[in-house]
Structure 1
């Protein structure tokens, strides 16, 4: 069976057939962009695998600090790029665990060719992280917006009670007043005690009960 995936701009992806008697799958990515090639294949390759490990680790709720300058700069961006990647990866990575769902003692290891270093490991623990559900109860949380993308509606919210930042998403049909309160909180968050808002949210939680994201229902200024 052949299935066509989403188009990749500036690169080509080839999935090679498994060798006879082997469970290994070899994926080859060819970067076409001349500007990237000019940087050097080793630099591009290192950044690619570093970004892969970072985004997958974040999706699995694992700690990882990037090692390449290119990926470190992504962390410092004001837009919640990593949060958007997490949301995009949750369903595909959950689907990648289908063999593990049937055989809980199985593991899948992602490695770089000609390099014994393990990039990421999929197992029953990571399956629990991407097996998510949305709670029906609407709860209220108080804090500040720390990052926000007005196009995607995805951002980061510092929850005063949890004492940590949690990803959030506002609905596409949210009114302009709701969006203005989000940006108001973001712009005033740097001032001590300012920019506080109260969100009515539904929680997206993992099978372990860890809150992965807030689905915002309403936004209130305090």
Structure 2
């Protein structure tokens, strides 16, 4: 029986955009594991699996439930050791923790400020009410105020990527000779922006964009299965 991965979607269930869910998708594909993807809107997440988790991704593997993208990766690594490694050892796991911190403290806040109003517009009416209330409270600005600054935020975004560019000078993937979970962490963030943002955050000649395009082609091109924002 295949695993079930629950992931966030917009009003169109084919448009799933959560950066954390994309990490889990890429981890499952990397391991070559069979799974079913169940798209879920924001306001339905608390009802999943008896209220097991307030957030997605949420993975069911038989009788086991796992939440949080990093915990899912650790679970897959431990439970399916015969499949390709997501970390390449303890050093790779430690590096992934560091990059996760960089992504969530530097990259995610920037993409949020750029794309938050666009995300709102992808949602069903009930979810739009929830999303506006929670995000405006969290960000201390209206969605319209945030949207008015998105071009300025997007113009400043490339300078935040210098640590990634530096790494890619020495190796084709953040994980070294091949992609690892550390690549999927940052891929999830850029995929989030690709699917939601009305502003392009990566310049055509940026090495990070070249790397991202290669990530989109991984695992049968699963990253390209969801259309980019118009």
TM over 0.5: no
TM-score by length of 1: 0.29
TM-score by length of 2: 0.28
Which structure has more RCO (C-alpha within 8 Å, separation ≥ 6)?
A: 2
Higher share in strand: 1
Which has the greater radius of gyration? Answer: 1
Higher share in helix: 2
